[in-house]
Amino acid sequence: MTKEPLRIAFLASRNGSSFRAIVETIEAGSLPAAACLLVSNNRAAPALDFAQAHGVPTLVLPTKTDPEAADARLAEALAEAGADLVVLSGYLRRLGPATLSRFRNRILNIHPGPLPDFGGEGMYGRRVHEAVIAAGAAESAVVIHLVDEVYDNGPAIARRAIPLAAGETPESLEAKVTAAEPAFFVETLGRIARGELKLPG
């Protein structure tokens, strides 16, 4: 009996770099998965254009006016798409209880620094790299973790170290981390799809 491909839905607010890399890997036949939906809270997100060009269904779902209704609609849309996993690719909104409950231990995010020391509310983008350098750390990391009700709090499932060079700046560290993230997400999803990495529950 042939195993069904992993059905992955994506949430992106802007460019969706990891989303793009994952879709391209699926199209190349190197990841046994299917991109079943892209949802964005931003009607102008470039990720939407990429999705439409690659045949991935899209949904624009603003969240500010009525967060509770948006949360319920998101949970329903992900379920209707048959998503096995939900991947956050630069999604800049906190997820609500309906989505978190319905997809418990099935929502993945990538964080651009070591957790838990360099995570939490407000710790994103350049701020993380500035904090890592200010702390005098010998290395940073990209960490893929499960998403729960608290920012960057869910269990880490995969981690890749990013060594700091002499004279590292927030800008140079950001470039290294940003370059490493998409391939690491692809690699980790491959391990999940092949059954090499088991998620809780």
Which residues are the active-site residues?
111
Question: CB under 8 Å, gap of 24 or more: what pairs does 162-171 form?
Answer: 163/138, 163/139, 164/132, 164/133, 164/137, 164/138, 164/139, 164/140, 168/133, 169/133, 170/126, 170/129, 170/130, 170/133, 171/126, 171/129
* Residues 67 and 97: beta-carbon distance below 8 Å: no
Q: Which residues pair with 141 in a beta bridge?
A: 161
